[in-house]
Structures are given as C-alpha cells and as structure tokens.
C-alpha cells in the first residue's frame, strides 16, 4: 500500500485482502480456466463507498491494464453521481455532462428552447451543460504529493 502511495500519491483507505486458496478469485470469475486453474486474469473492480460494484474491467493475462482509463472511469462515476447527469462516450474530465431528459412535455419544450438559445445540444434528449463547480472540484486529484 505504501508503494502505491509513493508511486501515485493515492492513500489506500480500505483493507487489502489475501486470497491464498483462490476462493474469492473463483467467486468473482477471475480465474482464466482456459489458461490456468490458478492464474487470475487482470481484473479491475470499481466499488463505491456503499459497497456497490460500479464497474468491472477484465483484461486478458497478456494485456496490461490502462491506468488512465481506470482513473477516467472513477472520475466519470464521481461526476455523474455529483452532477446527476451522464458522461458521453469519450468523456474526459472538464467536459460538459449530458443533462437528464425532461420528465414532462412542458420541460421538453423548455429544453428545446434552451438548446436553440444556447446551442448546447442536439435535441431534447441530448443536451449538455457544464457541471457545477463542486463536481469539478470533487473529481480533481487532491493527492499530488509523491514519495
């Protein structure tokens, strides 16, 4: 855990578990049975503070993980949760988020008017807004100190 902190500036605030007999790895589908009965594939689980698995990435044994994408996913989840919007395909931190769709016909008409005035969307079902500043701050990496 200290090595992770020294290399990334991120303090691991959750327990790291040991799985000597592979029981957990098997339960979560992490064993590549076509290659080995004991070797795990390269799995990434993003679990939120409520214990809910939000993202699962599975890489083949011979392919390394792409850490910038994993960080982008975490930031996108944080942004979507904070802004109550969605992130588009290829979304990167700092970009606008997709506004939730209108719930009534009156809101739909208001959304279309807003899009025409602000040029911030394609149609009532796909419009964008800059996220609130509090959400932008939340997705910034606050631990920039490295060993």
Question: Residue 52 sits in a domain of what CATH number?
Answer: 3.40.30.10
Single out the residue in 34, 65, 96 at which a domain terminates. Answer: 65
**Which DSSP state fits 13?**
-
- Average pLDDT on 1-21 reads 86
User: Based on the domain organization, do 80 and 111 belong to the same domain?
Assistant: yes
Is 85 in the same domain as 134? yes
Q: Are 78 and 48 in contact (CB under 8 A)?
A: no
Same structural domain, 48 and 93: no
| Residue that is last in its domain, among 37, 65, 93 | 65
pLDDT band at 119 (very low <50, low <70, confident <90, very high): very high
CB 43 within 8 A of CB 30: yes
Q: What is the pLDDT of residues 50-82, one digit of tens each?
A: 989 999 998 888 888 899 999 999 999 999 999
Q: What is the dihedral of CA 70, 71, 72, 78, to 10 degrees?
A: 110
| Whether residue 144 has pLDDT greater than 60 | no
91 and 121 both lie in a single domain: yes
- Full residue range of the structural domain in which residue 125 is found: 67-147
Mark whether 71 and 131 lie in a shared domain.
yes
pLDDT above 60 for 141: no
31 and 2 housed in the same domain? yes
- The DSSP code for 105 is H
Are residue 109 and residue 47 in the same domain, yes or no?
no
Domain boundary among 14, 31, 65: 65
CATH (domain of 136): 3.30.1020.10
């Amino acid at each position: 855990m200290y090595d992770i902190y020294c290399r990334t500036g991120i303090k691991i605030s959750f327990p790291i578990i040991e799985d000597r007999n592979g029981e957990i790895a098997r339960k979560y589908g992490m064993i590549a049975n076509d290659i080995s009965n004991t070797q795990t594939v390269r799995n990434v689980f993003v679990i939120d503070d409520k214990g809910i698995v939000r993202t699962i990435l599975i890489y083949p044994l011979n392919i390394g993980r792409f850490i910038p994408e994993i960080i982008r996913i975490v930031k996108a989840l944080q942004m979507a949760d904070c802004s109550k919007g969605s992130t588009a395909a290829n979304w990167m931190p700092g970009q606008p988020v997709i506004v939730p769709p209108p719930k009534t016909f009156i809101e739909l008409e208001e959304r279309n008017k807003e899009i025409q005035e602000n040029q911030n969307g394609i149609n009532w079902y796909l419009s964008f807004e800059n996220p609130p500043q509090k959400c932008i701050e939340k997705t910034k990496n606050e631990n920039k100190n490295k060993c």
